[in-house]
Structure 1
Amino acid sequence: MSERVPMNSTKKLFRIVEELRERNGARVSELATSLDLPKSTIHRHLKTLEKLEYAMKAGDIYHVGSQFLYVGTAVHNRESAYAHIEPRIKELASETEERVQFMIEEHGYMIYVHRETGAHAVQTNTQLGKQMPIHATSGGKAILAEMTDEEVSDIIERRGLPKITENTITDEGEFFDELQEIRENGVSYNDQEYIDGLRSVSVPVVKPSGRPLGAIGISGPLNRFKDDIYRQELPDKLLGVVNEVELNMKYS
């Protein structure tokens, strides 16, 4: 019982933080209604966050504090190889004028760590740190292709293969067939599997140990991502960048 109570309290605390972030600020009464928690509980947790400077109050509205921004930057420094990747992401975005991103796997989700938008990049609901369905993204599939079948099965067991669009692969056998194709070609595609009208192509980034670090991908609209651009030109650019990044990791 003594372990469960602190665990429940911690869960409530982070539910409040996530709701504050989702709402971009909220009053105690709004949080209590939304989370179905007593106002006294909400108020107590907010006061704790405010005292620790992880929340700030403007009038009667609470916001997520900038301390979370400071803590979040640690993700960018978690792997020394990230330093090799960020400048290449910027270069690719400038060169292609599309959206370019570096993604990792965490807890069975795909997470954006770096993202740059070129001059003609489309805007979507993707945000840094947001948990994305790993099976419906080219970056996620690229990372999974570098894992063992047992590891992939474990993620599927935990997260499933939910249908998001008409193109999302939801059959496990078909999904493993696609992963095998990615392993053979070194390139992963997402043909409107997460967002209708959006395509992406990604290439896995592998550590010298042979374990996946993440994936670098380029996303854009269907009308621009077609034919040789989608299947040859963009993959070639990504393969070249990833080859350089992997060499830097190996010899730096």
Structure 2
Amino acid sequence: MATNTPRTVEAVQKTCRIINELQRRGETGITELSEDVEYSKSTIHGHLATLVDEGLVIKNNQKYRLSLRFLDIAESVKNRVTDYEIVHDQVRELAEETGEVVHFGAEENGRVVYIAKWQGAQAVQTKSRIGKQMPMHSTSLGKAILAEYGRDRVDEIVEQHGLEARTQNTLTRPSALHDNLQEITQRGYSVDDEENILGIRCIGIPVSISEAGVIGALSISGPSQRMTDDRIKNDLREKIAQAANVIEVNSRYS
């Protein structure tokens, strides 16, 4: 069997690319897939036939889409981080109380992944979605988690992913990031000061349990005009800390 390296299997890599493209397109045919992933139609057909046989892909009138089995997989993965129902309830309640967008995310492979999201009545529409991966250094979720890590782990993530300038406010020097993480540790919460999206500010706080350490983070996001320093410090900080505490206590005993 052909392999790219001793630890990777080319056939599996092709299957993963096909699944990713089906996720992006929603539903498509063999010709379109072949053009997008640059594999022959016969190769695409063989992989799709296997995925259909395994119940992971549905074929309908020569079109293919991901099956609902991925919902079951997603539910299983979400609950490995913590009790998802508790997280979902706190994210929803916090969003309704503040009127803003609230996320819960966890770190995986040096990225922060959105696990739960809810939009309050005044929330600004964002492109964030469950499962989306984001940089850690430019998001309040990511920085809240990084502040709980040792310097060596932070440096590993920076080495792996770099410090992309998402906006002109993004921290792009390791020394500046470490200084910011120290500030976060001292005050107990992180701030994304239009570092990921211009016009959007966020407050983030880590969620930790003694047995596992930091399991994720909560964030509240909104337009910079509403997300003032005064509101973050004197209103949102207490609300997000209470929500984090509920998740921590329930996760500890669930």
Q: Shorter chain as normaliser: what TM range?
A: over 0.9
List aligned pairs for 1:153-172, cutoff 5 A: 153-172=155-174
Q: Determine the structure 2 residue equivalent to 1:71.
A: 73
User: Among the aligned pairs, what percent are the same residue?
Assistant: 39
CA drift at 1:242? 1.7
Which of 79, 87, 92 is equivalent to 1:85? 87
CA drift at 1:154? 0.7
Q: Determine the structure 1 residue equivalent to 2:36.
A: 34
Q: How many residues were matched structurally?
A: 252
Deviations 1:197-248 (A, max 9, x none): 1111110011113611100111111222124113331112111222333233
Residue 201 of structure 2 is aligned to residue 199 of structure 1: yes
User: Do 1:199 and 1:219's aligned partners in 2 also have CA atoms closer than 8 Å?
Assistant: yes
Distance 1:80 1:197 in 2: 32
Q: Determine the structure 2 residue equivalent to 1:233.
A: 235
Aligned partner of residue 112 in structure 1, secondary structure: strand
Amino acid at match of 1:187: Y
Which of 105, 108, 114 is equivalent to 1:112? 114
Evaluate the alpha carbon distance shift between residue 50 and residue 120 of structure 1 in structure 2; reply closer, same or farther with a 3 A threshold. same
Q: Determine the structure 1 residue equivalent to 2:151.
A: 149
Which segment is superposed worse, 238-247 or 48-57? 238-247
TM-score after normalising by structure 1: 0.94
CA drift at 1:3? 5.8
User: Do 1:208 and 1:246's aligned partners in 2 also have CA atoms closer than 8 Å?
Assistant: no
User: Do 1:147 and 1:211's aligned partners in 2 also have CA atoms closer than 8 Å?
Assistant: no
What is the RMSD of the two structures over their aligned residues, measured on CA atoms?
Answer: 1.8
Deviations 1:32-53 (A, max 9, x none): 1111111111111111111111
Distance 2:38 2:253 in 1: 54
Deviations 1:87-130 (A, max 9, x none): 11111111112111111000100001111111221221111111
Question: 5+ residue gaps in structure 1?
Answer: none
Q: Determine the structure 1 residue equivalent to 2:53.
A: 51
Which of 222, 228, 238 is equivalent to 1:220? 222
CA drift at 1:157? 0.8
User: Do 2:2 and 2:10's aligned partners in 1 also have CA atoms closer than 8 Å?
Assistant: no
Question: 5+ residue gaps in structure 2?
Answer: none
Which segment is superposed worse, 144-153 or 116-125? 116-125
Amino acid at match of 1:19: E
